[in-house]
Amino acid sequence: MEALKPLSDEDKLYMIKFIHTIIWGVFVVAILYVLYAGIFDKITKLVWVCIAAVLIEAIVLLVNKWKCPFTLMGYKYTNNHTVGFDIFLPSWLAKHNKIVFSSLFTIGFALVLWRVLSNQ
C-alpha cells in the first residue's frame, strides 16, 4: 500500500478556497434572510440567529483588520494576493463583497428592528 503524499500548497489553497466559498454562501443566505424577514415582517428566532452570526463575523473581520481568516490562511500558500485569490467568486464580487453585503445586512437589520419596535 502506498503512503499518502503530503498536500501541495496548490491543494491546500484549493481547500481554503472551497471551504471559504461554502462559508461565504452560508453568510449570504443569512444576510438575505434577514433582509427578507425585515421586508415581509417574518421575524423568527432564526432571524435573530442569523443576525448574531453576521455580527460575530463582523467582529472577527474587525479583529483581523477587515481580512477574513481564510484570506490570511491563503497567504501562506501562494504569492498571488490579487482580490479573490482565496475564494471562488468573480473578482468584481470579491472586491465589493463587504460593501454590498454589509449594506444589505444593515438595511435588513434596520427593518427587523423597526418591525419589532413598531409591533410592540
Q: Which residue has cell 455580527?
A: 55
Q: What CA–CA distance (Å, rounded) separates 96 from 88? A: 14
Delimit the domains of the chain by residue range. 9-118
DSSP code at position 82: S
How many residues are given for the chain? 120
Local confidence pLDDT in tens for the 120 residues of the chain: 677 889 999 999 999 999 999 999 999 999 999 999 999 999 999 999 999 999 999 999 999 999 999 999 999 999 999 999 999 999 999 999 999 999 999 999 999 999 999 987
* DSSP-derived secondary structure letter, 67: -
Q: State pTM to two decimals.
A: 0.92
